[in-house]
Chain A
Amino acid sequence: MFVKIQDITSFEPYDAVIIGSGPAGATVAQSFLRRGRKVLVVETGSATVETDVQDSYSVIHGQGHFDSNYWPQHWIRALGGTSAVWAGWMKPLSARNMVSWPVTRGELAPWYDHAAVTLGRDPMISTWQSAGVPGFDLKPFSRGNTARYGEAAGEAIWSDTHVHVLLNATISRLHPRHDRTGIERITAFVAPDLDVEIDIAAHQTVVLAAGGMGNAQILLGSTDGTNAAVGNDTDQVGRYLMEHPHFYECATLIVKESFAFTTPPPSFGRFVPALVPDDATHAAAGGVDASFELAEIPLTPEDDLQSLIVERLGGQAKAYVLNARTEMRADPSNRVERIFGTDPSGLPRLRATCIFNADDYRSVLHYLNALGKSVADQDIGRVGIINDHLFSNVTGGGHTMGTTRMGSDPKTSVVDKDCRVHGYSNLFIAGSSVFTTGGYSNPTMTIVALAARLGEFLGGKA
């Protein structure tokens, strides 16, 4: 249920304060309410997306491959968070995408099933695959209806009496205990001009679920200037910023008319076919993952090169354009950091520096050549690489990951395997900011899986 700040006479009844109402915050809130426990959810925005809120709060100075216009488009400040612009693509990370994580893919499996069901899909979307061509498997993306947590998908959560939603409020500061082993107080800015101090009691936890940018921003802003910011004793907050490099139309695949791949059963739902390197091909490319969507296009009769390829394939052929969605290496120099200025709540303005590594490009090129060789060797088809599109036309997926990364060593990470900020007993983080590495998969399914796992961990404690 929605509450006003003046209606809250005591913060004592809440078991947790959840900062953010996107898929991560909503999922954690749901775990609490299912156990009859109460939470306060704090959301900067209103019930719907408002331009002035967006313009005041989602401000990022972008350097590198993504500019200042890019990041704010994927950091929505309203009830339901960035699910408001989610395109509905789902795919879990695979085991090889999680080798650097302190959590294994196997441990996440039941939570992926949970996420699939929560988001309206059959859990088999996580495992179904079929033969592609030698060296590559067909691993389709699931692309069904979108779950908008500001709309129908969040209705049951936000209307529940155990969940109190405070809109137009921003947590602008976490105050650490003197010994820095936990959070003793948080400051909430309630628009337009009220600062409210909320004491965190021994039974309460704080969950940051403010998005890939917001989680880092709140930590970086939580300092009085004399000590390191909360969670930032080893200068790791904001580092390892990752996106998913997207290379649309980076190659043409011409195959014999008879070429066909097995399509998923109806229970898979709407799908996007994609070729994904098998483990051997993946290792040979240097261990960075990628997927290549097969989008059928008409042959281009006036393209003489294509005509030759078709002739070489026996005269009857069809064409696909390949759209690559790829992994970006986790690099500590890609980071968000505070710069001059603040948002209306007093949180620092951020600069995001995100530059793809040359090896990120080389891996994609390696895969395209491997795919070309595979289909040519089998005489199934031929691949034409479109160099311009690969190197001059890269974009992202609107995925902000890695800024409070998970790891067992506090020197190279911000949260532990339970998503708890290293050293802080009552501070946890939900969302894609905890991803240790990003794989190529759209992050929403993993965000919900990790949040459900965290919700169980927190909500299950009496």
Chain B
Amino acid sequence: MNRRDVLFGALGFAVGGALAAGTGLGYMFYRRATLAKAKGRRTVVSDSLDDWVLTDADRTALAHSADQAGPLMMLNNVDLPGAGDIRSAQVTDVAECAALCEADANCNAFTFARPSHPKVEKRNKCWIKSDQTPPKKVVDIHYISGLRP
């Protein structure tokens, strides 16, 4: 997955080279974890794109990425518990998880557990889900979810 694939927040990510995501611009403002403290090193994550002091050129580049948005809506830092799990798989990254969903006609949502997940057995795990309207969306920095709009 290249850097273009996961741009930011819900702005977009690519599946098979084409940027997917799109209508979920609002989710970009999903409250992100403000501070993630991993053992032995300190990382600081900013709240949202609006908290960055950007140039017009930055924003133009951002808008260009948004134009290429595709069918899957990205939910960064969101878990979709109980949204009708069809199956799960070990994957290498979120793009692979999204591709599995794309390729599955019954898949309407997916959730990917980041490698930073505290539970080893959940790391890099991908859940393919059937619910297009998940019962709840839980903000959790260890997950990225996708939803067909």
Residue positions of A touching B, CB distance < 8 A: 249, 252, 297-298, 300, 302-309, 311-312, 319, 321, 368-369, 371-373, 375-377, 379, 382-389
Contacts and interface: CB of A to CB of B under 8 A. Distances in A.
Contact of A312 (B41, B47, B61, B76): B61
8 contacts: A302-B114, A304-B6, A304-B7, A305-B8, A376-B58, A377-B55, A384-B46, A386-B46
Given A304-B9, A389-B34, A297 B42 contact: yes
Nearest to B41: A298
Contacts of A382: 52-54, 58
What DSSP secondary structure best describes chain A's contact surface?
helix
Lowest 4 CB-CB distances: which A-B pairs, in order? A372-B53, A384-B46, A304-B8, A300-B43
Contact of A303 (B42, B46, B58): B46
Contact of B52 (A307, A377, A384): A384
Contacts of B42: 297-298, 321
Contacts of B57: 312
Contact of A372 (B11, B34, B48, B52): B52
A263 B48 CA distance: 33
Given A252-B44, A307-B8, A389-B34, A376 B53 contact: yes
B47 A302 contact: no
A369 B53 contact: yes
Interface residues of B, number: 30
Given A304-B7, A305-B49, A307-B8, A386 B44 contact: yes
Nearest to B43: A300
In the complex, which of the residues A307, A319, A371 has the most CB atoms of chain B within 10 Å of its own CB atom? Answer: A307
Interface of B: 3, 6-9, 11, 34-36, 41-49, 51-55, 57-58, 61-62, 76, 114, 116
Contacts of B114: 302
B58 to A, nearest CB: 6
Contact of B44 (A297, A308, A312, A379): A297
B55 A376 contact: yes
A278 B49 CA distance: 28
A305 B46 contact: yes
Contacts of A311: 3
Contact of B8 (A252, A308, A321, A371): A308
B62 A308 contact: yes
A388 B45 CA distance: 11
Given A376-B54, A386-B46, A307 B7 contact: yes
Contacts of A386: 34-35, 44, 46-47, 51
Contacts of B76: 304
B53 A383 contact: yes
Contacts of B34: 386, 388-389
Contact of A389 (B8, B35, B53, B58): B35
A371 B114 CA distance: 33
A422 to B, nearest CB: 47
Nearest to A300: B43
A302 B24 CA distance: 19
